[in-house]
A and B are shown apart, each in its own frame.
Chain A
Amino acid sequence: MSAPGRSDAVIAGRLPLNHRSGLFGAGLLVAGLVLTWVSLMRLDASAGFIKYILVAVALGAVFQGLKLVSKWIFGPLFDLGLWLSALWISLLVLIAVFADLLPLRESRDVSQALQAPIRQRPNLFSSHPLGTDAQGLDILGGLVYGARVSLIVGFGAVLIGITVGLTVGLAAGYYRGKLESAVSFLTDSMLAFPPLILLLAMVAVLSPTVANVTVALAVISVPTYIRLARANTLAFAQREFVLSARLLGERNPAIISRELLPNVLLPVVSFSFVIIAVFIVTEASLSFLGLSISRPNPTWGNMIAAGETRLNDHPHAVAVPGVALFLTVFSFNRIGDRARKMWDPREAKL
């Protein structure tokens, strides 16, 4: 994914996109949109494979058209995939924050949804734009509140992981000695555990609340962060600016927080986008297994688990939260890929 982008830019930089390819892109975009609309709205399910292939082709055309148009407008270095990823994440954060203000149908309490049709297919112009599940609960509403859970768990666990991991890793990498040996032994032992198994062991005994799941995930990430922080600290502690700070009489805590922390923070943070993606997947997997946050609180994982039984004739109950989950993980991975390229000089070695 990365390599094509770069050489693309080189080639495109040599031959700047002219208006013709931009206009072609605009045409492609319009044609793709029309084809998407026709194949989604006008063709019924009896068209079978033709419908699916048409949708795929149409979405491909929309993306290619958008890419050409955006390069025409913003220059040949514009990375459309990255911006779309950022847009999706921002949208998600917005709807998660303002979920309570949105005019959503009931997605939580079955007794409030007795009048609602059950297993209604998605129809953007109805009162349930993304359909309803087996109990008549609104899928769009579930998606919004599920986004809230996913984001809180993902960001929360990473924040805890970074805080603990950085503190311990910086101290171990700077003070060395016995502290470092003890920390290394602990992290090695924790990393020796298969993460999912350790997590299952923890949820076996903790009650599945958002806070507990977040802490359990944070525990999984701490050893990785300690390692990352320690490795970076070791590299920077040898540098002249640390030595000169020490010669000027700075105290150790001050050296760590003022000299080392700003340098170590960047690679650690750039690594975190990928970790957030992993955590969102893990939380969804746990709630899919019924071991994390469970009904009545909707999460993407338990929505998918609920729809799984009728996958054959009502696939939308799985497809809608599934697509949201995939797009989110994809976006975080995409942003993380770019962030590590920009900020982490050690990326190749990790």
Chain B
Amino acid sequence: MSTHAMHEAEIGSPPPLAEPRPERNRLITVPFVLAVFAVIALGAVSLFTGVYDIWGREDGRDMFFITRVPRTIALMLTGAAMAMTGLIMHLVTRNKMVEPTTTGTTEWAGLGLLAAYLLVPGPTLVMRMTGAIVFSFVGTMIFFLFLRHVRLRSSLIVPITGMMLGAVVSAFSTFMTLRFNMSQVIENWFIGSFAPVQAGRYEHLWIIVAVTLITFLYANRLTIAGLGEDVATALGLHYHRLILLANALVAVCVGVVAAVIGNIPFLGLIVPNIVSMIRGDDLRSNLPWVCLTGMGTITLCDIVARVVIMPFEVPVSLILGTLGAAVFILILLRQRRSGRVR
């Protein structure tokens, strides 16, 4: 109080200080608690969805902890990661259509996986992950630099350009797989599925918790970066460092998920857009919501994927792709109505 009072004395007689009317975006609200319970319920459903009879069989209990629990945890972590990635990219590129699938980031991650297999025969998971992260980082950087130089601000051209870039990278990957006889790798990656998840194969996904915490710490800075370089600089921030940080956060999420699970499309498009329509673009207050909605959405999709052709299952990326396409069109129509598509 004292510094402010002094400041006021210096600059004469300002209008009387208004009563503080804080906009406390309180996290623990009734809807949030309900959402938490909904996600927990979905998690429970996920735990008990499957063909193997975990109650009847003798080793049911073991199977439960070897496959069901890891799968559900993997779903939650991946859902949070991909939704958060989308949110960060929306802010930084100022475009609601941008997410790893529409910027080529995912394809770069795939190429990174492939590079790991080419450089080291029989690479460990950590090597594959590193390859995916490094390539995602480079790929996203290329996309950001491209955006910067061409100054594309039309909301449609940006994702189209990104997808074209992705297609080029993907074509190169395909060529390499054919050339080096590794189509298995890229195929497994392309159809992102949680079916192979089991104890001992998914634990690296916990890295996502660290990324989420860092994102939360830098949430206000990233939101300011979303207001543009000029505003960020005027507020004393280093815009370019923030962009690098955002890029790194995105690359780690996409890379880890690509190496452990595979391609998870459109989650970063669906979730942040829905949250933004209701709650706006403030990253800090939205992050818990985005993570939660991401978890719920992907778990629901995975349950559908497991149930739809029981006793077999389809890859969750198929369900997400379908849902994502629908939401993509919905956003397009909405923006057109409000005249924001130029």
Say whether A associates with B: no
Name A residues whose Cβ lies closer than 8 Å to a Cβ of B.
Answer: none
Name B residues whose Cβ lies closer than 8 Å to a Cβ of A.
Answer: none
